[in-house]
Chain A
Amino acid sequence: MTLVLDMNMWKDSLGADEFVKPILSVIGVCEVRHYLEEFDTAPYDRVILSGTPLKDDEYLNHPDAFKWLKKYDKPVLGICAGMQAMAAAYGAKVEKCQEIGMAEIRTLVDNPLFSGTFKAYELHNYAVKSTKKFITLAESNKCTQAIKHPKKPQYGILFHPEARNIDVMEAFIR
């Protein structure tokens, strides 16, 4: 069973319609929790952390809500806000880096989620600063686009795969 974490500022928001529901329509059966709710990740096979609207960066003010990541060894996919929260939980820094619209993504390291150069939809004000805590898998002209934990199957991607690259999400849940 997959757990999808709603990263929006509050539960059942308009942001969830836009950033959580499209994930559910790709992955099918799953459970959804808000990131500030109490939950136990142990029963889940994998966790997906959603994105948020451009103006919603409240998740950066709640680092304690992502402490569970360090103890969780199963697959994780952090999308946009989810990537930033995941990286911050492992001690990486987040910096201002805005992209809105389609961008060209270049793969730097072979990985199971994507390959080559492709276009993807971007909507963010922040990005993960280049760090040795993660392997950088892809980049655009402006920002780090994808990272992987060096030991665990835990990925962060900055673009929104639910918008134009659902094959990336399908590869993650395969």
Chain B
Amino acid sequence: MKLGVLFSGGKDSTLALQKAMQKEEIACLITVASKNPESYMFHTPNIDVTRMQAESIGLPLVRVETSGQKELELVDLSKAIIEAKKEHRIEGVVTGAIESVYQAERIQRICDKLDLWCHNPLWKLDQENLLRQILENQYRVIISGVFAHPLDDSWLGREIRADTITELVKLREKFQISPSGEGGEIETTVLDAPFFKKRIEITKAEKKYALNSGTYDIIEARTVEK
């Protein structure tokens, strides 16, 4: 089955891509770049890095922009999926949804309307288990956004390693923060994974932080042979 993967460049959509690659043919990545940093549907920090990630993986990227208004972004998502269906003849869509019935329901409806399969291979995956899979698969992932107390600017740009996971799990116990960021507490950017033909190296980045939220903006990066 030829599939398009909804791809934000973060750990969840990258792991969903890896799982889908193991079982089906991936025809393209689909990115919706939202201008709304508070989008309910789409990961926003460093969304433009998806171009470099797609090149590193060796897959075509279908990219559409959205103003990010609540229901309008679904129209734009639908446009992106229609383009992927037309250009790459996809028969279905893969998402990195884990818990959010809000996301899952909306994407299911779009796929149903377009007569496409909808797969969510990470659905209900335990958060610590997900983070462990990221480590076991030797992903290089950085935290590119924090959006909840007590995550301060020291977390921005940090690589997710075993010690980071231990700290995030402790924060869950004390502050009810989802360790994998499923509640939107953290966003991530993947710099390398086993199926990346090249890794991504950040050469210039900037931290922006105020009032319990911040982003690690990648200003310049390059792909490097592995």
Are the CB atoms of A164 and B101 closer together than 8 Å? yes
Tell yes or no: A15 within 8 A of B by CB.
Answer: yes
B209 adjacent to chain A (CB < 8 Å): no
Mask, A85-101, CB within 8 Å of B = 1, is 00000000000001011
Q: Evaluate contact between A100 and B123: CB separation under 8 angstroms.
A: no
Q: Which residues 102-128 in A have Cβ within 8 Å of B in the complex?
A: 102, 121, 123
- Residue B174, interface by CB 8 Å: no
Measured as residues with beta carbon below 8 angstroms from the partner, the interface class of chain B is 20 to 34
Contacting pair A101 B123 (CB below 8 A): no
Q: Is A141 an interface residue (CB 8 A)?
A: no
Quick one: closest A residue to B99, CB to CB?
Answer: A163
4 smallest A-B Cβ distances: which pairs?
A101-B105, A22-B124, A17-B121, A14-B119
Partner of B120, one of A18, A55, A100: A18
Q: Which of B31-65 contact A (CB under 8 A)?
A: none
Q: Which stretch (B106-114, B175-183, B189-197, B218-226) binds chain A?
A: B106-114
Type the 1/0 row for B50-88, where 1 means its CB is closer than 8 Å to any CB of A.
000000000000000000000000000000000000000
A165 CB to closest chain B CB (Å) equals 12
| Residues 111-154 of B at the A interface (beta carbon under 8 Å) | 111-112, 115-126
Q: Which of A14, A100, A163 contacts B121 (CB 8 A)?
A: A14
* Chain A hits for B24, CB < 8 A: 14
Known: A14-B20, A101-B108, A101-B109; 16 extra A-B contacts, CB below 8 A, are A12-B23, A14-B19, A17-B119, A17-B121, A18-B121, A21-B123, A21-B125, A54-B108, A54-B117, A55-B115, A56-B117, A100-B105, A100-B109, A101-B101, A102-B105, A123-B108
Residues of A within 8 A of B19 (CB): 14, 17
Q: Which residue of B lies closest to A55 (CB)?
A: B117
A-B contact pairs, 26 of them (CB 8 A): A13-B23, A14-B20, A14-B24, A14-B119, A15-B119, A17-B19, A17-B123, A18-B121, A21-B123, A21-B125, A22-B123, A25-B124, A25-B126, A53-B117, A54-B112, A54-B117, A55-B92, A56-B117, A98-B112, A100-B112, A101-B101, A101-B105, A121-B101, A163-B101, A163-B123, A163-B124
The B interface is mostly helix, strand or loop, or mixed, namely: mixed
- Chain A interface extent, by class: 20 to 34
Q: Does the CB pair A54–B111 fall under 8 Å?
A: yes
Shortest CB-to-CB span from B156 to chain A, Å, is 32
B119 contacts A18, CB within 8 Å? yes
In the complex, A162 has a CB within 8 A of chain B? yes
Within 8 A of B (CB), among A54-71: 54-56
B94: Cβ under 8 A from any A Cβ = yes
**How many angstroms from the CA of A22 to the CA of B124 in the assembled complex?**
6
Residues from chain B with Cβ under 8 Å of A21 in the complex: 123-125
Nearest opposing residue in chain A for B121, CB measure: A17
Measured in the bound complex, the distance between the Cα atoms of B95 and A17 in whole Å is 12
A19 to B188, CA, bound (A): 26
CA distance A54 to B119 in the complex (A): 9
User: Which A residue's beta carbon lies closest to that of B109?
Assistant: A100
A17→B125 CA distance, assembly (Å): 9
List of B residues within 8 angstroms of A100 by Cβ:
105, 108-109, 112
B22 to chain A, nearest CB (A): 9
CB distance from A31 to the nearest CB of B (A): 20
In Å, the complex CA distance between A12 and B92 comes to 17
CB closest chain-B residue, reference A53: B117
A146 → chain B closest CB, angstroms: 19
Residues of A within 8 A of B109 (CB): 100-101
A164 to B123, CA, bound (A): 12
Q: Closest CB-CB distance, B77 to chain A, in whole Å? A: 16
